[in-house]
Amino acid sequence: MWQGSTKTIDQKWEEGWPAIVVAAEEVAEARAKRDVLAELLALRGLLQLAQDEMGEAVDSARAEGLSWATIGQALGVAPQTAHQRYKNADRHRPDYHGPPRQWWKLNVHADHLARCRSELKFGTKRLLTWRRGDVLLLQLKKDSRPDPHARITGTLVYDTYHLDEGGESVGLWGETFRYVLDASEFLPTKPFSLEDITGLRGVYSRQGQMNHQRILDEDVRAVAHAAGLEHLT
């Protein structure tokens, strides 16, 4: 479906093409131009996306009851190694207690932000491993033309989700989403942009609207400080 497209990499990101596909194309494009620095940056982003996708797949496998031995075999590592790398996946099991809070970046169009805030809801076509209490940073899409240094002004605190079978998302945002996330509260943040925070390990500036992204654990403290939400860490 994507081969032979004349769209640019930036257009593909903004249109919400599968992140892993566009990231790989970005690597290939940089390599074709023999831009070594751009290739390294693109490879870094691709690696991060692949790691996130791997974590989500392990989460799903554990939620379906697959053993660490089976998962380890699929990954080509020992069961103990798989468990050590992805032990947070066990938060989906009924005997798991006290999950740590995770932080996420969710891109949103400016026209949708007010309803997200007033209704404590967010529409999405894709579910990730959100869990109750997670911080969902609402980042304005670039085509909304926000202040480039204030793309994030608020966050939702995730509670649960439901399948949109009755057209709720169309009524809220004029667009159909498969799922609606329900939040327990909206918290305003200090206006900031992830791109302006120096020293972050993750790459957070090239994702499309539906390519939501987890903030790496090692970046959470800096992001929380920029948002003025240190009490949530």
Quickly state the pLDDT bin for 223 (edges 50, 70, 90). very high
List of residues 6+ apart from 107 with CB closer than 8 A? 139, 140, 141, 207, 208, 209, 210, 211, 212
For residue 210, the model assigns a pLDDT of: 43
For residue 1, the model assigns a pLDDT of: 42
Whether the per-residue pLDDT at 209 is higher than 60: the answer is no
For residue 91, the model assigns a pLDDT of: 54
Quickly state the pLDDT bin for 21 (edges 50, 70, 90). confident
- Residue 118 has, within 13 A of its CA and on its CB side, a CA count of 7
Q: What are phi and psi of 37, to 5 degrees?
A: -65, -45
CA distance 219 to 204: 11
**SS3 of residue 83 by DSSP:** helix
More confident residue, 4 or 145: 145
List of residues 6+ apart from 159 with CB closer than 8 A? 132, 182, 183, 184
Pairing of strands 152-163, 103-108: unpaired
Question: What would the mean pLDDT of 123-140 be, rounded to a whole number?
Answer: 88
Domains of the chain: 1-93 (no CATH), 103-232 (3.10.590.10)
pTM above 0.75, yes or no: no
Q: Average per-residue pLDDT in the chain?
A: 83
For residue 95, the model assigns a pLDDT of: 46
Instruction: Give the angle subtended at the CA of 218 by the CAs of 135 and 196, to the nearest 5°.
Output: 75
* Token couple for 232: 């949530």
Sign of CA dihedral 89, 91, 92, 94: positive
For residue 6, the model assigns a pLDDT of: 67
Closest CA to 91 of 72, 63, 52, 71: 63
